[in-house]
Amino acid sequence: MAAIPLREETLKELKDKVVVITGSAHGIGLSTVQLLYTNGAHVIHGDWDSSAGSSIDSSIASSSKPHVPGGSTTFVQTDVTDYDSVLNLFDTALKKHGRVDIAISNAGVQEAGDWFEKGLSLEGVRKKPTTKTLDVNLLGSLYFSRIACVYLKHANPPTPTPQDKSLILISSTAGFKETPGIFVYTAAKHGVLGLLRSLRPYLPKTHGIRTNAICPWMTDTAMVLGIREAWMRNELPVNSPESVARVVLEVAMGRVPEGEKRMRDEGVVEGVRRGDGEEGKGDGKVRYNGRAVFVEGGRGWDIESGIEGTEEVWLGEKVSRTLAKGQEVLGDGTDW
């Protein structure tokens, strides 16, 4: 896995950026809003919890913590399962600031319902289970991403030097590892990584947008109270919401370290695409695209480059070559 270094210069680039984020009232979302504001960004943030969300703007503004002047926050009550509600969030950003630079799909909920309850009977299984976990965690991400693409592109017409635009999807370690007991949550978070993988070759060319995903492991929030004691007892690494927020913003705005192997579609937005056998140009100045970053103990590790780089090992050389040829025929999805 490739480490994601945290660079101070990345935070400096956040000044005056316009950022839309969901799930802002608690945990990782709240910490991300605070970090953005502290570094001079304009944040339009949404959450279902209007009581907690509406208090954020006043508490941040009155905070005595050092911050870069010029930032702002605007709360909009948002239900990510309601398409019009997500539209309203982005409309607020456009009306207030004229553009959107970064969009972060962060809203999520825990497992809900008894989908695979061991005591489920012939009678009990007749009752349709709730789809809330799927609706918020996957459908909400799809709604958000569809709308975000248009609003990010709106102030970013094709030019020789387009403005950098970034879409961040919050998945989970449950998005790439089996996680017993949270069945629908795991399926939904796997779906978020599927969305990342389908968008990463497409959006840079069609919209000038980079897409990445964040997969936090155990993070000290209300969502993990049931396992916190056992986790601590085994001395496993724990993320703070603040440390995950820091990785989120590094991936959103940071640059690929000089000399590091790039993902297949990194550099397209900057007009620097490196194909097979080409060195390309601008090493160290290409921003992340197509990464899924596992976060443990506040450290970020990209899993996608590892999967891509070792495919011949886990799939076999011959099958890997055949698969690569098929993927080449499919292209980036713009021709069919």
HSE-up of residue 55 (Cα within 13 Å, Cβ side): 5
3-state class of 80 per DSSP? coil
**Is 185 among the catalytic positions?**
yes
**Is 118 among the catalytic positions?**
no
Closest C-alpha among 87, 73, 77 to residue 32? 73
Q: At what angle do helices 183-199 and 140-154 cross, to 10 degrees?
A: 30
In the structure encoding, which two tokens stand for residue 319, read together?
């099958």
Q: Which of 141, 171, 172, 305 is catalytic?
A: 171
Cβ contact 295:216 at 8 Å: yes
Q: Read off the amino acid at residue 8.
A: E
Q: How many CB atoms lie within 10 A of CB 325?
A: 9
In the structure encoding, which two tokens stand for residue 36, read together?
């953005």
- Determine the Cα–Cα distance for residues 186 and 180; give it in Å rounded to an integer: 9
HSE-up of residue 244 (Cα within 13 Å, Cβ side): 32
Q: Which of 85, 143, 189, 288 is catalytic?
A: 189
Buried b (16+ CB within 10 A) or exposed e, 30-56: bbbbbbbbbbbbbbbbbbbeeeebeeb
**Is 288 among the catalytic positions?**
no
CA-CA-CA-CA dihedral for 310, 313, 318, 321, to nearest 10: 0
Residue 257 DSSP label: P
Query: Catalytic amino acids?
Result: 171, 185, 189
